[in-house]
Amino acid sequence: MTSSQSGPKRLGAALAAIGLAYPFLVYFGTQLLPPIAMVIALLAFIVLRSAGIGGSPAQRPLIVVSAVVGLVGLGIAVRAPLISLKAYPILLSIGLAALFSHSLLRPPTVMEQIAGLSQPNLDAAAISYLRKLTLVWLCFFILNAAISAATAFWASLETWTLYNGLISYLLIGCIFTGEFAVRHFVRHGRRVTE
């Protein structure tokens, strides 16, 4: 890897780490800085992340989601900076839910596109399975947005941080683990019956 390639990769890794640690950065950051300063940092993060996504057709929806999250966050920030900081996980989940639902209406689904990177020729059974998996993720993102909203508007900053910085990631891990087990079972069952 050349040094010109390693710079964007390092920036991408740093932005991903910031995204994962975001709830904790808000929790500790608001104890040191006024919420509006944190909002400006959040907007800078969204711009950098959007710029780092790239311009391929598969990545354009993520740029749109990031831009919408940033604009809505900016609008909320004018009236309630702390709520706008808490809105990021809500808006991100809503954006991802919109992306997944759009792909269900206009295939290939998001999960088909991801699976197609390693297996370009998917059979009808795999496409059906991936469509159902896309629906599972859509339901998760809707539920996650609702819980994130409830913690943002009616819970303490500590509870919001706990849910958005730990519990939601554990739920994502459970879905990945459950899907891995189901996929293994489905593949194994298909081999036995063939």
Strands (DSSP E) contained in the chain are none
Q: What is the pLDDT of residues 107-157, one digit of tens each?
A: 999 999 988 888 888 899 889 999 999 999 999 999 999 999 999 999 999
pLDDT of amino acid 13: 78
What pLDDT shows up at residue 116? Answer: 86
Q: What percent of the chain has pLDDT over 70?
A: 78
The one-letter code for the residue type at 17 is A
Q: Which two tokens stand for residue 65?
A: 């989601």
pLDDT tens for residues 4-39? 566 667 767 777 788 889 899 999 998 998 888 887
The rounded radius of gyration (Å) of the Cα atoms in the chain is: 19
Q: How many whole angstroms separate alpha carbon 101 and alpha carbon 99?
A: 6
Domain ranges within the chain, ordered by starting residue: 3-193
pTM of the model: 0.79
Tokens of 81: 């900076």
CA distances from 96 to 30, 69, 137, 151, 192 (A): 27, 11, 9, 19, 36
- Nearest C-alpha neighbor of 102 from the set 113, 91, 117: 113
Q: Calculate ∠ Cα 140-23-21, nearest 5°.
A: 95
**How big is the CA angle at 152 (ends 149 and 155), to the nearest 5 degrees?**
115
